[in-house]
Amino acid sequence: MLELNSVTQQFRNNQKETVTALSDVSLKVQEGEFVSIVGPSGSGKSTLLFITGALLRPTKGEVYLMGEDIYAHPASYRAGLRLERIGFVFQTFNLIPYLNALDNVALPAVLTTGSRRKATEKAEELLRRFGLGHRLNHRVSELSVGERQRVAICRSVINEPALILADEPTGNLDPEMTHEVMNLFAELNRNGITVIIVTHEEAVASYAERVLHLRGGILQNGG
Amino acid sequence: MNLQILPLLLKETRFRWVVHLLTVCLIAFVVSLLVTQGSLNRSAEDKVNELTHKLGRGMLVVPEDTDLQQFYLMRYGAETMPEDYSDRIESSHLGKHIQVIEPRLYGNLTVQGMDVILVGRRLQFPVSSDSRHELVVIGSGLARRLGLSSGDNLVVNNHKLRVFAIVDPPPKGYDMAIFAPLKTAQRILGTPGRINALHLSGCWCELDVPALAAKVESILPGTMAITVDGMAKAQIEIKSTMEQYSVIFWIAGGVLVTASIAFLLFYLIHKGRREIGLLLSIGMSPGRIVIKNIIISVATAVAGALAGYILSIPLMSQAGRMFMRVSLSPSAQVLPWLVAVITGAALLASFIPSWYISRLDPTKLLREE
Ligand SMILES: Nc1ncnc2c1ncn2[C@@H]1O[C@H](COP(=O)(O)OP(=O)(O)O)[C@@H](O)[C@H]1O
Ligand SMILES: [Mg+2]
């Protein structure tokens, strides 16, 4: 369902030098897989995730999502893709600070269905399912870090995406919360969603069926 | 479709309410000044028109240094001329053309904290039994404010006056006036033997009016004689200076309003850039985010303009009392200009989010820790 074809990403840093964040990365992920990519900080994990998630056009190479070359399409099409087919979870700042948990989760559904009521109903159902029924109307600042991550996961799945991309989703969590959150991803994966997680922790990566290693922008045991 | 972003917008506004409030206040302040200035302009113009009309075929002679614009606005300077100028013109060879010669001494006074116009003119009163009080006639507005009726006494600049009569209704603009005999007015203003206006009227239909004015000026040195012609000219001058100021004033106001909205948008986008990164990552289109910001800028501008218009009501009445001795209210004629300035400013300022957001790289925003 996902295929990266010799993807290379270069940046210009502040000193105007060219930094190669990813070099010639190729990767194939089948539908329903749970893949984790492990690498130290600066190895290009976030870059890889942004490129996969239609947020960053690679310097070289193509990305196929469900058979489509996503960067052959205009930016507005890719925005639609992110809204409907892809769910993102980041390490921090996943939520809009002035919305409560319910509105944060509902937001993508409001944008697709145009119905606030339907979106809110669905969001509430998700939050309850993930044990956050008592936090519906809490502001982001009133939630614990672990709760915020779970809210973010609810938000990422509300539009029933085919693919979830998570960037160090447990980076700020204690071992217990990490376990809980990783189990959520595993559960979503069992329900048929393809999940890709990038992390610098081998322990976190081991929740996945397939573990890949990224070092210095190079994918070690290619998929 | 875009209605969906409204709740988001309201919540964002509530979240960063301080900066919104500040912007609205700033715009309101600028707008109230614009409305006040614009409305003052209108009423000054009306006033001059009215005076021109009043002057009719008559002629007004004033000391040559008189600031006519101020004179028409009933703010009188210290310039005076000898009272006997009225006799001098009467006994000159022009005397036979002039039927009525009215020497006047106008002045501004403060009576119990109120601005009052003093009009010294030839008035005949029956001989008063009480020589310590000088008789005057007052406008009904002043009588009401001071609670005076005929026969009551009042003290002005240490002069004891007695109300002989109340003019009701008073001539337009003389609601808050004291009409006194010339001698009394001269004593109150401390200018014995002096006047500052001479109203002439008569039938000079067959005469060359500009030539007549020149002759009057040569008989009465140090004066200027104003006719409707002269008045019209002065009026055009006043109008053009006022217009010049207005244009500058309104451009400055427009720039300020634009700058405030631009600042607000800049601040909001800058403060909320990580939220924007997040919104972009979950698939909200940049276009929608731009629209969200345009709605914010237009709404702020409109709120500021409304608040400013309301604020200008007390401001106008204050300014009107200060500059024109009448209570003014905002002129509806200012509204189209205001709408134009505000809409222009809001639209101009909305280019900023479009420009700024098109430049944002969501991946950089999402990487920020
Ligand atoms: N926008 C950018 N401009 C310049 N350099 C960048 C940019 N984004 C990432 N990099 C560089 O690319 C490399 C990989 O970054 P990143 O993908 O964030 O790694 P990771 O997520 O594994 O820590 C780093 O050296 C980083 O400094
Ligand atoms: Mg990273």
**Distance in angstroms (rounded) separating the CA atoms of residues A36 and A111:** 30
pLDDT reported for residue B1: 47
What is the Cα Rg of chain B in Å?
A: 30
Give the position, in ligand 1's atom list, of the atom nearest the Cα of A20: 12
DSSP B3: G
- Give the closest-approach CA distance of A142 to chain B in angstroms: 15
Type of residue at B85: Y
For residue A218, the CA-to-ligand 1 centroid distance in Å is 13
A44 lines ligand 1 (CB under 6 A): yes
The closest residue, in CA terms, to atom 11 on ligand 1 is A21
For residues A108 and B282, is the Cβ–Cβ distance under 8 A? yes
pLDDT reported for residue B51: 64
**Distance in angstroms (rounded) separating the CA atoms of residues B148 and A14:** 82
Find the ligand nearest to A214 CA.
1
Task: Note whether B282 contacts A47, CB cutoff 8 Å.
Answer: no
Interval B105-140: pLDDT, tens: 999 999 998 999 999 999 888 876 677 889 999 999
| Cβ neighbours for B322, distance < 8 A, ≥ 6 positions apart | none
For residue A114, the CA-to-ligand 2 centroid distance in Å is 33
pLDDT reported for residue B229: 66
A41 lines ligand 1 (CB under 6 A): yes
Percentage helix, strand, coil for chain A under 3-state DSSP, each rounded to 5: 40, 25, 35
B2 phi and psi, to 5 degrees?
Answer: -80, -5
Chain B CB contacts of A162 under 8 Å are none
The closest residue, in CA terms, to atom 7 on ligand 1 is A11
- Give the closest-approach CA distance of A190 to chain B in angstroms: 23
Give the position, in ligand 1's atom list, of the atom nearest the Cα of B363: 1
Mean confidence (pLDDT) of chain B: 84
Task: Note whether A93 contacts B274, CB cutoff 8 Å.
Answer: yes
pLDDT reported for residue A39: 95
> Residue A53 is encoded by which pair of tokens?
């998630």
Task: Note whether A82 contacts B281, CB cutoff 8 Å.
Answer: yes
For residues A195 and A29, is the Cβ–Cβ distance under 8 A? no
A11 lines ligand 1 (CB under 6 A): yes
Task: Note whether B285 contacts A79, CB cutoff 8 Å.
Answer: yes
Reading chain B (369 residues) residue by residue, the pLDDT tens digits are: 456 777 888 888 899 899 999 999 999 999 988 888 887 777 766 766 666 666 666 788 999 988 877 887 788 999 999 999 999 999 998 888 888 899 999 999 999 989 999 999 998 888 766 778 899 999 999 999 999 999 999 999 889 999 999 998 988 889 999 999 999 999 999 999 999 999 888 755 556 777 788 889 999 999 998 876 666 666 666 667 777 778 888 888 889 988 988 888 888 888 888 888 899 899 988 888 888 888 888 888 889 999 998 988 888 877 766 665 556 677 777 888 888 888 888 888 878 777 777 777 888 888 765
pLDDT reported for residue B180: 95
> Residue A207 is encoded by which pair of tokens?
């929740």
Task: Note whether B363 contacts A50, CB cutoff 8 Å.
Answer: yes
Interface test with B, best of A107, A151, A167 (most B CBs within 10 A): A107
- Give the closest-approach CA distance of B75 to chain A in angstroms: 57
Q: At what angle do helices B5-15 and A101-113 cross, to 10 degrees?
A: 150
**Distance in angstroms (rounded) separating the CA atoms of residues A15 and B105:** 80
Interval A113-155: pLDDT, tens: 888 899 999 999 999 998 899 999 999 999 999 999 999 999 9
Domains of chain B, by residue range, sit at 2-49+234-367, 59-226
Q: At what angle do helices B286-323 and B273-281 cross, to 10 degrees?
A: 150
For residue A92, the CA-to-ligand 2 centroid distance in Å is 11
For residues B73 and B238, is the Cβ–Cβ distance under 8 A? no
- Give the closest-approach CA distance of B301 to chain A in angstroms: 23
How many beta carbons lie within 10 A of that of residue B253, not counting itself? 24
A43 lines ligand 1 (CB under 6 A): yes
Chain A CB contacts of B359 under 8 Å are none
pLDDT reported for residue B325: 52
Question: What does the CA dihedral B201, B204, B205, B206 come to, rounded to 10 degrees?
Answer: 180
Find the ligand nearest to A37 CA.
1
**Distance in angstroms (rounded) separating the CA atoms of residues A51 and A56:** 5
Beta-bridge partners for A164: A87, A195
A13 lines ligand 1 (CB under 6 A): yes
Mutate to test the pocket of ligand 1, among A8, A11, A38 (most ligand atoms within 8 A of CB): A11
How far, in Å, are A175, B1, B28, B249, B337 from residue B256 at the CA level?
Answer: 55, 33, 11, 10, 15
What is the Cα Rg of chain A in Å?
A: 17
Find the ligand nearest to A47 CA.
1
| Cβ neighbours for B246, distance < 8 A, ≥ 6 positions apart | B37, B38, B41
Closest alpha carbon to B185 in B249, B97, B117, B247: B117
Interval B229-244: pLDDT, tens: 666 666 666 667 777 7
**Distance in angstroms (rounded) separating the CA atoms of residues B1 and A113:** 10
> Residue A126 is encoded by which pair of tokens?
């998700």
A46 lines ligand 1 (CB under 6 A): yes
Task: Compute the C-alpha angle A176/A182/A184, nearest 5°.
Answer: 110
Using pLDDT thresholds of 50, 70 and 90, give the confidence band for residue A5: very high
Give the position, in ligand 1's atom list, of the atom nearest the Cα of A14: 4
Q: At what angle do helices A75-84 and B286-323 cross, to 10 degrees?
A: 100
Closest alpha carbon to A56 in A92, A86, A31: A86
A98 lines ligand 1 (CB under 6 A): no
A87 lines ligand 1 (CB under 6 A): no
**Residue with tokens 């506004």, as numbered in its chain:** B13
Q: What pTM was computed for the model? A: 0.70
For residue A169, the CA-to-ligand 2 centroid distance in Å is 10
- Give the closest-approach CA distance of A103 to chain B in angstroms: 9
- Alpha-carbon B67 to chain mean position: 17
Q: Is the pLDDT of residue A222 over 60?
A: no
